[in-house]
């Protein structure tokens, strides 16, 4: 990089810093100015690095991730002082955690180097906002990403050498099943995962972070699905919204809470029998909503609804399996205004550092045979089954949206 380019970037950073206002929320719009600063500092950093420096950075990241995952298992962060001004010696931390001091010191070195924890001149260690946060939910999500995605991901070259250099599309044979030596078992990803109840629990809890990545409300007007008196006179049993694979009803609850014109008695929640029973037990579903036991790989039983809604479902599956999903719904779209709504991540056509997390999530989905998609990917997918995309509703501040499709006229 020449000096003039560096000066220009630093001037841009200075201008951004002068207008920076600390965010008070954790949603994407609130974090936008912080993200802009981070993206610019990363651009400056990368422009200064030579290839050898990048190798060193990647090596540190690998060591950091392994160390964090190991120390989470050993509950070491929980033994460190919560006050960042306080310190604990390696010997003291070893005594409290039961981990050999020599091993502990080696695992902590990469975390000091990366800034995840601190170390004083006397060799003692201190917590940071990162190490403290990882004791709770962020640590669960990190564990989910490490156990279920990173570990199988490291074997991706071996998987491709064995199965061919094409994207994994099977729910039975994929990097996840290969990593668990289960590609010949005819078990799905979820069935393999269910063999370890603790890891399955971590996966389910960790995935709740997806609510922020693909908001349930705020960018599609569900009120437009409300049935008019005239429509009800023609068909008193008609349904406004079918939430397919809707879990225990948290999304339905949020939608009905925000869009008051939509009536609970005109909404159907569908999922597998075990999930519906859980929903009834937890009583999360608003009164009036009909709960229906349904496997979405089979024909859709609710006919003529205004909308058939999939949220955070399609990214779990390949194009071929999503085609199968859509083909179960299309015969049920007998209403004059029936439509399919798919809420999911929307990858940018041209990747930037701003949407870097979406690239990581797409590789994570690939491990299990799924994929994140661009707008164009969704248009091709819908067109392949006789649907056309009539609108794409973008969620503000995040790389997500809702794809709306109808039968081709």
Give the closest residue to 29 by CA, choosing from 388, 368, 400, 315: 400
Cβ 317 vs Cβ 325: under 8 Å: yes
Give the closest residue to 311 by CA, choosing from 245, 391, 377: 245
- The whole-angstrom separation of Cα 353 and Cα 351 is 7
From the candidates 148, 294, 315, 357, which is the catalytic residue? 315
- The whole-angstrom separation of Cα 214 and Cα 207 is 11
Give the closest residue to 316 by CA, choosing from 148, 138, 147: 148
CA quadruple 228, 233, 234, 238: dihedral sign: positive
Catalytic residue status for 180: no
- The whole-angstrom separation of Cα 373 and Cα 345 is 7
Residues serving a catalytic function are: 315
């Amino acid at each position: 990089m020449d000096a003039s380019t560096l000066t220009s970037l630093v001037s841009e950073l200075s201008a951004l810093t002068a207008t920076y206002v600390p965010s008070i929320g954790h949603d994407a719009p609130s974090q936008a100015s912080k993200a802009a600063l981070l993206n610019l500092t990363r651009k400056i950093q990368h422009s200064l690095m030579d290839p050898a420096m990048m190798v060193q950075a990647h090596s540190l990241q690998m060591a950091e991730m392994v160390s964090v995952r190991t120390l989470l298992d050993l509950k070491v962060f929980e033994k460190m002082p919560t006050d960042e001004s306080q310190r604990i010696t390696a010997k003291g931390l070893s005594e409290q955690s039961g981990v050999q001091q020599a091993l502990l010191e080696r695992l902590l070195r990469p975390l000091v180097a990366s800034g995840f924890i601190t170390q004083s001149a006397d060799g003692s260690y201190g917590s940071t906002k990162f190490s403290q946060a990882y004791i709770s939910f962020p640590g669960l999500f990190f564990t989910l990403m490490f156990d279920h995605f990173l570990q199988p991901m490291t074997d991706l070259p071996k998987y491709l050498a064995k199965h061919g250099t094409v994207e994994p599309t099977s729910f039975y044979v994929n990097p996840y099943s290969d990593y668990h030596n289960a590609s010949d078992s005819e078990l799905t990803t979820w069935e393999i995962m269910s063999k370890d109840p603790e890891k399955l629990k971590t996966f389910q809890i960790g995935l709740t972070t997806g609510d922020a990545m693909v908001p349930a409300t705020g960018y599609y007007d569900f009120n437009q699905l409300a049935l008019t008196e005239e429509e009800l006179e023609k068909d008193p049993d008609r349904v406004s919204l079918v939430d397919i694979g809707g879990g225990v009803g948290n999304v339905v609850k949020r939608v009905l809470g925000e869009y008051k014109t939509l009536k609970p008695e005109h909404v159907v929640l569908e999922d597998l029998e075990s999930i519906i029973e859980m929903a009834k037990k937890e009583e999360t579903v608003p009164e009036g909503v009909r709960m229906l036991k349904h496997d979405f790989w089979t024909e859709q039983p609710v006919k003529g609804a205004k909308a058939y809604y999939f949220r955070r479902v399609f990214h779990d599956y390949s194009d071929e399996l999503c085609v199968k999903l859509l083909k179960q719904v299309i015969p049920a779209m007998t209403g004059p205004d029936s439509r399919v709504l798919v809420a999911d991540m929307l990858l940018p056509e041209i990747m930037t550092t701003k949407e870097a997390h979406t690239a990581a999530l797409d590789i994570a989905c690939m491990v299990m045979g799924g994929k994140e998609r661009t707008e164009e990917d969704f248009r091709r997918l819908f067109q392949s089954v006789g649907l056309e995309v009539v609108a794409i509703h973008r969620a503000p501040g995040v790389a997500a949206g809702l794809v709306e499709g109808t039968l081709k006229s």
